[in-house]
Amino acid sequence: MCAITAPSSSSTAAGPPPGTAAVELHGITKRFPGVVANHDIDITVRRGTVHALVGENGAGKSTLMKILYGMQKPDEGTITLDGEPVTFHSPADAIGRGIGMVHQHFMLADNLTVLENTVLGSEKLHGIGDGARTKIMELSAAYGLGIRPDVLVEDLGVADRQRVEILKVLYRGARTLILDEPTAVLVPQEVDALFDNLRGLKAEGLTVLFISHKLGEVLAVADDITVIRRGTTVASVKPADVTSKQLAELMVGSELPTPETRESTVTDVPMLRVSGLHLSAVDADGVPREVLDRISFTIHKGEVLGIAGVEGNGQSELVEAVMGLRDPDGGSIVLDGADISHAATRTRREGGIGYIPEDRQRHGLLLEAPLWENRILGHTTERPNSRGALLDTSAARKDTRRIVEEYDVRTPGIDVTAASLSGGNQQKLIVGREMSHRPKLLIAAHPTRGVDVGAQAEIWEQIREARREGLAVLLISADLDELIGLSDTLRVMYRGRLVADADPAAITPEELGSAMTGASSGHLEDGPAGGATDGATGGAADGGAATDTDDGQGGGRTR
């Protein structure tokens, strides 16, 4: 990561002095059929500051930012930029007035370079050749982004992709940046680097609106904090005057939750055995590499196995292989004594695997379908969704209402589309759907990504309760507190290998983050060569199928 350096005078346009109002939202109200998303919201954002916007899922944060970015029009209220009232009819209007937005789900084309992604739609600004490349390099150096314009986006890690998104809005001349959950997929070291970038931006008079559910990070980086609850502003506070607990209470009326698991429920009954799993792929330069390098592990009934790793190190491919979405080159997968190595995804589902995907919008939902149809998704052959060979839509609709109520999915009804829900409410719907079928094994990839502290606590409790009843869980998460708190056994994945074991009771998020980036750290034990570890004893080191010998409770611990 490049250090932050001050931009040259030619790299940014002069703007109003820091401390003056950059953005003022007064009386903003937005109604949708059956719901009031925003009601009489008032926010003042000072120029040259990081202003955090926090609130529970469905509180109206995203709608408000879409209004500021021109994606929605308010029914009532006014927007003022640098003292001048404005009306936006589209994002192009907002971009033209210096507002840029980095969405939680990155909007990049993997098969294009950084330069091509950056200039796409803005070719008239600096061309598509040397002029654009020069501008990108200037902005990258000015704000310490460390961006190389000719690299393919598909070869970038998640932190670099986020910096490309920030570069895109700076390239278009943004003076006010909206960042939606920017730290959701970053390890602590990457969060620190991002915050350094934000401090560099505001030092040059740029303004950042920062949406987050991670209250500790909000307190660390924000100059001002606005709390939204049920569509309206309930408080504006300074970080020095409030604690995480107080912020959580303002947001949802409850204390900040903890994922801590206090008792061991690990049994000696293996539920999932993965042995010698390997998968090769060819990178952009035509060089073959091991995406999964002889992965072996066992998860027992009542055990949560956490996999820690920076995104792009093989976790996604591991999940897809276990789910039957990707064919590995070798190895075996055994679920509750049955070999499912070559079974179809439907067979694995019916065999008792629940699945919370890492990208809920691409792999977990049909966004344009109503909620009750999304409740059926992945479980069409199971009750209550079917009777024999026929779908039971009446029962599915009834059960969708139950899930909406039990999991507090904020929606005007079950016939609205999944796209109409906030990201956190989409996540709660998926969790409710998967847990409703009482799976034997739950594959949980980032189960609380983008949800508020109240919903996070509910999801954690659902996992803990099912674990007490014998559920085995494969947990992938970028939230290191979540990984450490929920896991009975913790492994570190790096470049397609399981390289180390960590003690969840002893390791810190900082130590775990260092291990994830390839650095050594305390409270870690190196895995056998090739990453073919399996509980206490390891697996085969020769690339073939591993032999499991750890049928006892070696992986569990009392917390």
First to last CA, the chain: 37
Q: How many CA atoms lie within 13 A of 205 on its CB side?
A: 16
pLDDT band at 431 (very low <50, low <70, confident <90, very high): very high
Beta bridge partners of 489: 305
Question: Which residue would you say has higher pLDDT here, 426 or 5?
Answer: 426
Does 288 sit behind a cis peptide bond, omega within 30 degrees of 0 on the bond before it?
Answer: no
Per-residue model confidence (pLDDT) at position 165: 85
With CA atoms as reference, report the closest residue to 543 among 531, 525, 527.
531
Q: Which of 397-401, 408-412, 446-450, 517-521 has the lowest mean pLDDT?
A: 517-521
- Count of H helices and E strands in the chain? 17, 23
How deeply is 92 buried, as exposed, middle or buried, from its count of CB atoms within 10 A (0-12, 13-18, 19+)? exposed
Per-residue model confidence (pLDDT) at position 217: 85
Per-residue model confidence (pLDDT) at position 126: 63
Cβ–Cβ under 8 Å, residues 120 and 176:
no
Per-residue model confidence (pLDDT) at position 251: 82
CA dist list (Å): 269 to 176, 217, 333, 335, 465: 55, 40, 16, 11, 18
Per-residue model confidence (pLDDT) at position 356: 94
Question: Which residue would you say has higher pLDDT here, 518 or 270?
Answer: 270
pLDDT band at 4 (very low <50, low <70, confident <90, very high): very low
> What is the arithmetic mean of pLDDT over 181-205?
78
Q: Reply yes or no on whether the pLDDT at 533 is more than 60.
A: no
With CA atoms as reference, report the closest residue to 437 among 344, 376, 354.
354
Q: What are phi and psi of 265, to 5 degrees?
A: -120, 10
Per-residue model confidence (pLDDT) at position 33: 77
Q: Reply yes or no on whether the pLDDT at 411 is more than 80.
A: yes
Q: Helices 393-406 & 423-435, crossing angle to 10 degrees?
A: 120
The amino acid at residue 269 is V
The pTM for the full model equals 0.65
Q: Reply yes or no on whether the pLDDT at 318 is more than 90.
A: yes
> Which tens digit of pLDDT belongs to each residue from 53-89?
998 777 788 889 999 999 999 999 999 999 999 999 9
How deeply is 492 buried, as exposed, middle or buried, from its count of CB atoms within 10 A (0-12, 13-18, 19+)? buried
How deeply is 176 buried, as exposed, middle or buried, from its count of CB atoms within 10 A (0-12, 13-18, 19+)? buried
Q: CA 66, CA 58: separation in Å to the nearest integer? A: 14
> What is the arithmetic mean of pLDDT over 479-491?
90
Per-residue model confidence (pLDDT) at position 524: 59
DSSP state of 199: H
Per DSSP, helices labelled H in 421-549 are 423-435, 453-468, 480-486, 509-516
Distance of CA 170 to the CA centre of its chain: 23
Contacts of 14 (CB under 8 A, 6+ apart): none
What the block records as the tokens of 384 is 């209550």
Percent helix, strand and coil across the chain, each to the nearest 5: 30, 25, 45
**Among 202-216, 331-345, 348-362, 471-485, the range of highest mean pLDDT:** 331-345
* Cα-Cα-Cα-Cα dihedral sign, residues 515, 517, 520, 525: positive
Q: Reply yes or no on whether the pLDDT at 192 is more than 70.
A: yes
> What is the arithmetic mean of pLDDT over 447-454?
80
Q: DSSP 3-state assignment of 57?
A: coil
Q: How many CA atoms lie within 13 A of 496 on its CB side?
A: 16
CA dist list (Å): 117 to 161, 194, 430, 458, 459: 11, 20, 31, 38, 36
Look over the chain and give the mean of its residue pLDDT values, rounded to a whole number. Answer: 82
Q: Reply yes or no on whether the pLDDT at 556 is more than 60.
A: no
101's enclosing H/E stretch is strand 99-102
With CA atoms as reference, report the closest residue to 59 among 257, 236, 226.
226
Per-residue model confidence (pLDDT) at position 372: 92
* Cα-Cα-Cα-Cα dihedral sign, residues 12, 16, 22, 24: negative
Q: Please report where in the chains the tokens 């708190």 appear, as a residue.
A: 485
Q: CA 249, CA 152: separation in Å to the nearest integer? A: 44
Per-residue model confidence (pLDDT) at position 390: 82
DSSP state of 364: I
Cβ–Cβ under 8 Å, residues 472 and 299:
yes
* Cα-Cα-Cα-Cα dihedral sign, residues 11, 16, 19, 24: negative
Q: CA 179, CA 534: separation in Å to the nearest integer? A: 40
Q: DSSP 3-state assignment of 468?
A: helix
Per-residue model confidence (pLDDT) at position 347: 93
Per DSSP, helices labelled H in 324-392 are 345-350, 371-376
> What is the arithmetic mean of pLDDT over 110-121?
86
Q: Where are the beta strands (DSSP E) in 164-269?
A: 176-180, 207-211, 224-229, 232-237
Per-residue model confidence (pLDDT) at position 539: 34
With CA atoms as reference, report the closest residue to 218 among 238, 189, 202, 201.
238
With CA atoms as reference, report the closest residue to 378 among 423, 400, 347.
347
pLDDT band at 131 (very low <50, low <70, confident <90, very high): confident
Per-residue model confidence (pLDDT) at position 552: 36
Give me Rg for the CA atoms of the chain: 24
Q: Which of 223-237, 405-419, 541-555 has the lowest mean pLDDT?
A: 541-555
Per-residue model confidence (pLDDT) at position 68: 93
For the chain, give the percent of residues with pLDDT over 70.
84
Per-residue model confidence (pLDDT) at position 123: 65
Q: What is the residue-wise DSSP string for 401-427?
A: HHHHHHTT---S-TTSBGGGS-HHHHH
Q: Where are the beta strands (DSSP E) in 230-329?
A: 232-237, 270-282, 288-300, 304-308
Per-residue model confidence (pLDDT) at position 296: 95
Q: CA 559, CA 109: separation in Å to the nearest integer? A: 44
Per-residue model confidence (pLDDT) at position 15: 53
Neighbours of 405 (CB within 10 A): 10
CA dist list (Å): 82 to 19, 21, 34, 51: 11, 6, 34, 16
The amino acid at residue 337 is G
- Ordered by where they begin, the domains of the chain are 48-70+86-252 (3.40.50.300), 265-352+440-447+470-548 (3.40.50.300), 358-438 (no CATH)
Q: Reply yes or no on whether the pLDDT at 427 is more than 60.
A: yes
